[in-house]
Amino acid sequence: MPEGSGRKKYIVRRLLAAVAALLLLLGTVAFFLPYLLKRYIERHSVEWIGRRVTIGDIILNPFTYTYAVHGVKCYEPGSSEVFVSWKSISVKSDLWAGFRNNKWRFRKLRIEQPYFHLVQHGDRFNFSDLLELGGSAEAKPQAEEKPVLFSMEDILLDGGRITYASDILKAPVGISELRANCTRITSESARMDFGVGFAIDGGGTVQGTFKIDTEKSRYGINAALSSFSLPLLLPYLQDLMHTTGLKGALDLGLHLEDSWADTTALAAAGHLAVHGLEITDGSGKELLGLKDGRVLLDTLNARDHLFRIGHVFLGGLFTRYSQWPDGSNTWTKALKLDQAAGDTGATVLASTPGNVFVMLADYVRLLGQEFVANEYTADSMAMANGTVEFEDFTPEKPFRYSLDRISLRSSRITTRSGTADFSASARLNGRGELASTFRFDPRNFRNVAVDLSVKDLVLPDLDAYSRWYAAYPITSGTLSYTGSTTIRDGKLDSQNLLTADNLRFGKKTDVHDTGIFILPLRLAASLLRDVHGKIDLKVPVTGDLNDPTFKPWPIVWQVLKNLVVKAAAAPVRLVAGLFGAKDDADVEEVRFPQLSTALEKDQRRALDALAAMLKEKPDLRADLVPVTDTLAEAEAWAAQRVKQEFLGLQSPLSAADSAKVAAFSLRDSSFTAFLNGKSPGTRSQAEVDRCLAIVGKQAAVAAVQAEEGARQRAVQAYLAKAGAPAASFTFRPATKEELAGYKGAPGYRFMVEAKD
């Protein structure tokens, strides 16, 4: 064998031996170093970071360029509670190439099921000590080095969980199913793009993307929050108001571009939707509700000072408002108010640090200070099927009223050109109708045009106000109104036409507000009614709103007052000049004074007319349906009984005693002291409610029902005596439609129809 050939074989054998040795070394490193490293870290973790660390296994595989750590748990100091953990963190990289070229490239970073438990007390976190490790050493100047290049591609975090507890939060919050990804992070580009999604513990999911450009100082967010459970915010709402419940869900979308270096760079768009919102007051009654609410923010551009809303819609909005004689109302009782401005009387909401509602209000206020729109646009605004329940305990007799079927529509509103048109309608206490159109100039709010009409407003519904502020009860009547009002550069021109149909007042009451001026309304109404039972009033109002002394309502009051006084001062002339005929009788119903079963002149006149019709028209029949407001009657019965007890009067009452009870005011200071002694626990309630509590609601309702039976027997006997055939009339309960707008003083509505 030639000497050269043998030498070559020797070299090859040595090379193969070296390669085998290297492979053996790498294999040893790959299989034994991770085990030693795992043991070393677990043994010294408490010494290094004050926390115990356990590791499932470590993988260092130079053959597949795979490096991973599995099953890691880091515990809180001296505790078995996990601080940080993950199922697996793995990455692929050619480390040798990184050492050679000083250019590190990583790919396929995978973080599986990471968990973070974060706790904050004041300005300290449960990881603050880790940030401070080695912090006391002085930084040493380093020689200028060649920059290190790196890149990370194909990054994915999956199945993550985070829990966060703080002394400023009402309860810990958490997210789960966290998934985040990023295509590339590199030292060669200042821009990074991320995708993020997670579920909120308790209800709600978030999906979105996030980008950041450190070179241009810009960031962007494109995110959607879906089905967020509003009850999670109840503890924070209870900081601001007395409430027992918060229901509903929220959807939120946000598209935002901004810069942390330029406050004019803000550009945003988004949408907000609320479903099934319900907020209760401190007693558990519904205070505010919204079945469906949507707002679309089309554009918010700080650089161009442009603000545009796509549309706003509120469906099924409900609210309740009550006011009491002491000046309080539903919202002053519900909201937690602090006197904050001394003699100014201003109020602010009481709050605690970290309240999400307070932080949101601060952000909106800050945004409003930095951003003022020169141009604004709203494509449409709408409300459908809204309801407002109103109660007023300021008069002695409680006033209750309902506005429902409230709807609102608008045209496009813009500062660029044209006018903004609104149309609105509502049902008034189950029967009346309100319709209006409203037009204004978005560039000049001093240019306004309003048309308003009201049909079938049931006047007895306003009886509580009529008694207390005018001293006359309203027994019947409906009101229609049409008005047209324009304002041009502050100049007001308002033309108003009121038509009252069959308006009738009862006898003057002695129990009323002591500060009122009493007009002869009963006489005036009788005189002003024409032969058809109608009263037409025209009330023009003109003036200059730029004049601070101008007030339109005193003008309206003066016109009505002059008309009433004129009618009462010259009744003969008024009747001869306007009517020339006898006043017609009301035969649509029969009404009784509260707590009365006696048939007086007014009741007999209505029943006589009914009996005559039934005798003359045998093909007709009439159903007498009760329209008594049982609650109001029970309140009146309870008030009478308690006043009778206070006055020391025994039943049955004489006419003089009855008059004495009726004339005695529930607002008398001695009677208030009597109520305080009888029922100290009801001091904050209205007088009628206190009386009802003293006698018992069940007993009051039973007494009212007994009076109803006696009233019905009296009416039935009178009709029979007047000659009405027994088969031609009957008593039956009223349907909901028949009762709408007629519920009030005790009595019966006559429902006439042909016989079968």
pLDDT greater at residue 611 or residue 252: 252
Query: Environment class of residue 441 by beta-carbon count within 10 Å: exposed (0-12), middle (13-18) or buried (19+)?
Result: middle
Question: Which token pair is 252?
Answer: 């939120």
Alpha-carbon distance of 205 to 217, in angstroms, equals 29
Amino acid 444: pLDDT: 73
Amino acid 748: pLDDT: 94
Q: What is the mean pLDDT of residues 286-299?
A: 91
Alpha-carbon distance of 100 to 78, in angstroms, equals 43
Instruction: For the beta carbon of residue 119, count every other beta carbon within 10 angstroms.
Output: 17
Amino acid 96: pLDDT: 75
Which has the closest alpha carbon to 567: 556, 579, 555?
A: 579
> pLDDT per residue over 128-153, tens digit each?
888 888 655 555 555 556 666 888 89
Query: Environment class of residue 9 by beta-carbon count within 10 Å: exposed (0-12), middle (13-18) or buried (19+)?
Result: exposed
Tell me the residue type at 405.
R
> pLDDT per residue over 14-46, tens digit each?
666 665 565 566 556 556 678 778 888 889 889
Tally: H helices and E strands in the chain = 17, 32
Amino acid 100: pLDDT: 77
Query: Environment class of residue 124 by beta-carbon count within 10 Å: exposed (0-12), middle (13-18) or buried (19+)?
Result: exposed
pLDDT confidence band for 111 (50 / 70 / 90): very high
Do 638 and 700 meet the contact criterion of CB atoms below 8 Å apart? yes
> pLDDT per residue over 383-418, tens digit each?
999 999 999 999 999 999 999 999 999 887 776 666
Q: How far is CA 337 from the centre of its chain?
A: 18
Q: Apex CA 146: angle with CA 140 and CA 152, to 5°? A: 105
pLDDT confidence band for 112 (50 / 70 / 90): very high
Amino acid 77: pLDDT: 92
> pLDDT per residue over 443-458, tens digit each?
776 788 999 999 999 9
The owner of tokens 């973070």 is 116
Q: Is the pLDDT of residue 377 over 80?
A: no
Q: Is the pLDDT of residue 574 over 80?
A: no
| Contacts of the segment 347-355: beta carbons below 8 A, 24+ positions apart | 349/240, 350/239, 350/240, 351/239, 351/240, 352/168, 352/239, 353/168, 354/166, 354/168, 354/169, 355/236, 355/239, 355/240
Q: What is the mean pLDDT of residues 181-186?
A: 89
pTM: 0.77
Alpha-carbon distance of 734 to 629, in angstroms, equals 12
Alpha-carbon distance of 254 to 223, in angstroms, equals 5
| Contacts of the segment 671-676: beta carbons below 8 A, 24+ positions apart | 671/643, 671/646, 674/642, 674/646, 675/642
Phi then psi dihedrals of residue 684, to 5 deg: -85, 0
Query: Environment class of residue 423 by beta-carbon count within 10 Å: exposed (0-12), middle (13-18) or buried (19+)?
Result: middle
pLDDT confidence band for 266 (50 / 70 / 90): confident
Alpha-carbon distance of 437 to 730, in angstroms, equals 45
pLDDT greater at residue 298 or residue 537: 537
pLDDT confidence band for 367 (50 / 70 / 90): low
The helix (H) or strand (E) run that includes residue 306 is strand 306-315
Angle between helices 697-721 and 601-616 (to 10 degrees): 50
The most confident of the ranges 96-110, 295-309, 402-416, 455-469 is 455-469
Amino acid 562: pLDDT: 72
Amino acid 575: pLDDT: 45
Residue 715 half-sphere exposure, CB side, CA atoms within 13 Å?
A: 31
- Identify the sign of the CA torsion 141, 147, 148, 149: positive
Q: Is the pLDDT of residue 499 over 90?
A: yes
Cα end-to-end distance, the chain, whole Å: 135
Tell me the residue type at 509.
T
Question: Which token pair is 437?
Answer: 């159109």
SS3 of residue 94 by DSSP: coil
> pLDDT per residue over 68-106, tens digit each?
999 999 999 989 999 999 999 999 988 777 777 778 899
Alpha-carbon distance of 450 to 448, in angstroms, equals 7
Which has the closest alpha carbon to 603: 615, 586, 588, 591?
A: 591
> pLDDT per residue over 654-673, tens digit each?
888 889 988 999 999 999 99
Amino acid 11: pLDDT: 65
Amino acid 581: pLDDT: 32
Alpha-carbon distance of 504 to 747, in angstroms, equals 15
> pLDDT per residue over 318-350, tens digit each?
999 999 999 999 999 998 876 554 444 444 454
Amino acid 373: pLDDT: 55
- Mark out the alpha helices in 259-413 (DSSP H runs): 330-334, 356-370
Amino acid 29: pLDDT: 59
pLDDT confidence band for 684 (50 / 70 / 90): confident
Do 588 and 749 meet the contact criterion of CB atoms below 8 Å apart? yes
Instruction: For the beta carbon of residue 167, count every other beta carbon within 10 angstroms.
Output: 10
> pLDDT per residue over 146-173, tens digit each?
666 888 899 999 999 999 998 888 889 9
pLDDT greater at residue 499 or residue 216: 499
Mean residue pLDDT of the chain comes to: 84
Q: Apex CA 585: angle with CA 581 and CA 588, to 5°? A: 140
Q: Is the pLDDT of residue 55 over 90?
A: yes
Tell me the residue type at 91.
V
Phi then psi dihedrals of residue 318, to 5 deg: -130, 140
Alpha-carbon distance of 617 to 587, in angstroms, equals 15
